[in-house]
Amino acid sequence: MKVMKFGGTSVGSAERIKHVATLVEATEGKKFVVLSAVSGTTNVLVKITEHFRKNQVNEATIELAALKDSYQPLVDELFTSEDGKVKGYEIVDRYLGEIKKLITQPYYPQASKVIVVQGELISTNLFYTYLKEQGREVALVPAMDFMSLNQYGEPDMPVITERITGILKERKETTLVTQGFICRNISGGIDNLKRGGSDYSATLIGAAIQAEEVQIWTDIDGMHNNDPRVVEKTQPISKLSFEEAGELAYFGAKILHPNCIIPAQKNKVPVRIKNTMKPDAEGTLITSEQNPTAVKAIAAKDGITAIKIKSSRMIMAYGFMRKVFEVFEKYKTSIDMITTSEIAVSLTIDDPSHLSKIVEELKPYGTVEVDEQQTIICIVGDLVAEHKGVGREIFKALDEITLRMISYGGSRNNISILVDTKYKREALISLNDQLFDF
Ligand code: ADP
Ligand code: ASP
Ligand code: MG
């Protein structure tokens, strides 16, 4: 069985949805189709939750009305029969109507969780109804029936596997359609897998059913060697290892959700990235195979905060690091990069929600300095010691840029460099010119 995930742009119009149906149809065997919301929808839903939280009911209602209007041409073009069109409009009305009811009530956080997932409910119901209208053998499987989080807010793999196995026993249709992004938390409430989470839904399903392959269909022909939103000359990479793809996803390559490689890697399920608009392009295949090219790609993760703790007295003292890490653990804040010297330790976090409390609790251990608006530039490849000279090339490229932290040797796949975000563009372009010859 294959898992086929289609992102927002891939289901962004009636024409695209029809094209997705053709791609699904052309794939042999049983398939589990995971859909994102129509592109732009989740952004609008997030805006609506912001207005709702600020008690701006009028603004929220205006956004909602515009969103509803944007579905009109899509529904109109997607369905050929009058009956199909009526069903299509009913779907949009039903899910956006849920939001309308919620925003007229006093704000409560759980309502926002319900609002942001309506986009995936709309896209999957429209797609399912379209396939039905076309006479296809298809079943709609609600993600809320199987995609569960555990008490730590992480996907609960044993529960997900058990539920999907049960569903697969019951559903004999060749095409199963489900929502990406949506899940239930430990209390049974509607929740989500964070922005871009449909990729994660796809690999979690792929791992649960031990899929032959997870296909991530998107708007670009695979993982590129650098961020195409910043650098002009980028190229797709035909093969990556799970480790390399995982590092790129975690360190900012938006094409994949930061955690989505983990379930595929654990269960050795190949992940293939394909371009919906150019299905014949090779794309990127991610497997456990290591491919000995020194530098494969560069990614950048913004919104990083660097924290330095300086203490000539304590840093070398037995147990000092443990005490520092315990502060971060207490506030459930994960650390990305670490560098140490005789008198100081610097580390980075991407979630500053508890920053002021963390800084207060670190103060007894030394002088604490905080730098915000930093970017981690991550150079990924098979960077084992045999590949001599990579470091020199990297530093040559970054000659004109102030470097805040450097981390090498943590894994064989990654060199991470922290720079002020204002240098990000320059650093990415310069590294691209120096490390790739195209
Ligand atoms: P989808 O809606 O299909 O999930 P996304 O917008 O989440 O698509 O991801 C695809 C986008 O990721 C591309 O259009 C591209 O702009 C961006 N991107 C960032 N880094 C990379 C990279 N290294 N390779 C390819 N695309 C990247
Ligand atoms: N629709 C969600 C988002 O925009 C999930 C996804 O597209 O992967 O973040
Ligand atoms: Mg995405």
197 lines ligand 2 (CB under 6 A): yes
Indicate which residue's Cα is closest to atom 9 of ligand 2.
195
Ligand closest to Cα of 202 equals 2
Indicate which residue's Cα is closest to atom 5 of ligand 2.
196
The model's pLDDT over 362-414, given as tens digits with 9 standing for 90+, comes to 999 999 999 999 999 999 988 765 677 888 999 999 999 999 999 987 878 88
8 lines ligand 2 (CB under 6 A): yes
Between 295 and 162, residue with greater pLDDT = 162
Indicate which residue's Cα is closest to atom 8 of ligand 2.
196
d(CA 271, CA 349): 28
Ligand closest to Cα of 196 equals 2
Indicate which residue's Cα is closest to atom 4 of ligand 1.
7
How high is the pLDDT of residue 316? 64
How high is the pLDDT of residue 437? 81
How high is the pLDDT of residue 408? 87
155 lines ligand 1 (CB under 6 A): no
Distance 324 CA to ligand 3 centre (A): 35
Ligand 2, pocket-test mutation among 198, 201, 259, most atoms within 8 A of CB: 198
How high is the pLDDT of residue 312? 72
220 lines ligand 1 (CB under 6 A): yes
Residue 217 has pLDDT above 70, yes or no: yes
Give percent of the chain with pLDDT exceeding 70. Answer: 98
Model confidence at 180, in pLDDT bands (50, 70, 90)? very high
Distance 10 CA to ligand 2 centre (A): 12
Per-residue three-class SS string for the chain: CEEEEECCHHHCCHHHHHHHHHHHHHCCCCEEEEECCCCCHHHHHHHHHHHHHCCCHHHHHHHHHHHHHHCHHHHHHHCCCHHHHHHHHHHHHHHHHHHHHHHCCCCCHHHHHHHHCHHHHHHHHHHHHHHHHCCCCEEECCHHHCCEECCCCCECHHHHHHHHHHHHHHCCCCEEEEECCEEECCCCCEEECCCCCHHHHHHHHHHHCCCCEEEEEECCCCCECCCCCCCCCCCECCEEEHHHHHHHHHCCCCCCCCCCHHHHHHCCCCEEEEECCCCCCCCEEEECCCCCCCCCEEEEEEEEEEEEEECCCCCCCCCHHHHHHHHHHHCCCCEEEEEECCCEEEEEECCHHHHHHHHHHHHHHCEEEEEEEEEEEEEECCCCCCCCCHHHHHHHHCCCCCCCEEEECCCCCEEEEEEEHHHHHHHHHHHHHHHCCC
Residue 275's Cβ-side half-sphere holds a number of Cα atoms within 13 Å equal to 15
How high is the pLDDT of residue 311? 84
Between 15 and 314, residue with greater pLDDT = 15
Model confidence at 318, in pLDDT bands (50, 70, 90)? confident
State the average pLDDT over residues 283-308: 94
Residue 182 has pLDDT above 80, yes or no: yes
Residue 40's Cβ-side half-sphere holds a number of Cα atoms within 13 Å equal to 9
The model's pLDDT over 88-125, given as tens digits with 9 standing for 90+, comes to 999 999 999 999 999 999 999 999 999 999 999 999 99
36 lines ligand 2 (CB under 6 A): yes
The model's pLDDT over 329-352, given as tens digits with 9 standing for 90+, comes to 999 999 999 998 888 899 999 999
- Kindly report the backbone phi and psi dihedral angles of residue 355, in degrees, each rounded to the nearest multiple of 5, phi listed first: -55, -50
Indicate which residue's Cα is closest to atom 12 of ligand 1.
255
Residue 48 has pLDDT above 70, yes or no: yes
The model's pLDDT over 157-169, given as tens digits with 9 standing for 90+, comes to 999 999 999 999 9
How high is the pLDDT of residue 74? 98
Atom of ligand 2 nearest to the CA of 257: 8
Ligand closest to Cα of 6 equals 1
| pTM for the full predicted model | 0.95
How high is the pLDDT of residue 410? 80
Atom of ligand 1 nearest to the CA of 9: 2
Residue 227 has pLDDT above 70, yes or no: yes
Give percent of the chain with pLDDT exceeding 90. Answer: 89
The model's pLDDT over 14-25, given as tens digits with 9 standing for 90+, comes to 999 999 999 999
Mean predicted lDDT score pLDDT of the chain: 95
The model's pLDDT over 239-260, given as tens digits with 9 standing for 90+, comes to 999 999 999 999 999 999 999 9
Atom of ligand 2 nearest to the CA of 197: 8
Model confidence at 270, in pLDDT bands (50, 70, 90)? very high
Ligand closest to Cα of 299 equals 1
Atom of ligand 2 nearest to the CA of 201: 8
117 lines ligand 2 (CB under 6 A): no
d(CA 107, CA 61): 14
Ligand closest to Cα of 43 equals 2
Ligand 1, pocket-test mutation among 198, 216, 220, most atoms within 8 A of CB: 220
38 lines ligand 2 (CB under 6 A): no
219 lines ligand 1 (CB under 6 A): yes
Distance 7 CA to ligand 2 centre (A): 7
Ligand closest to Cα of 41 equals 2
195 lines ligand 2 (CB under 6 A): yes
How high is the pLDDT of residue 385? 59
State the average pLDDT over residues 49-69: 97
Distance 254 CA to ligand 3 centre (A): 7
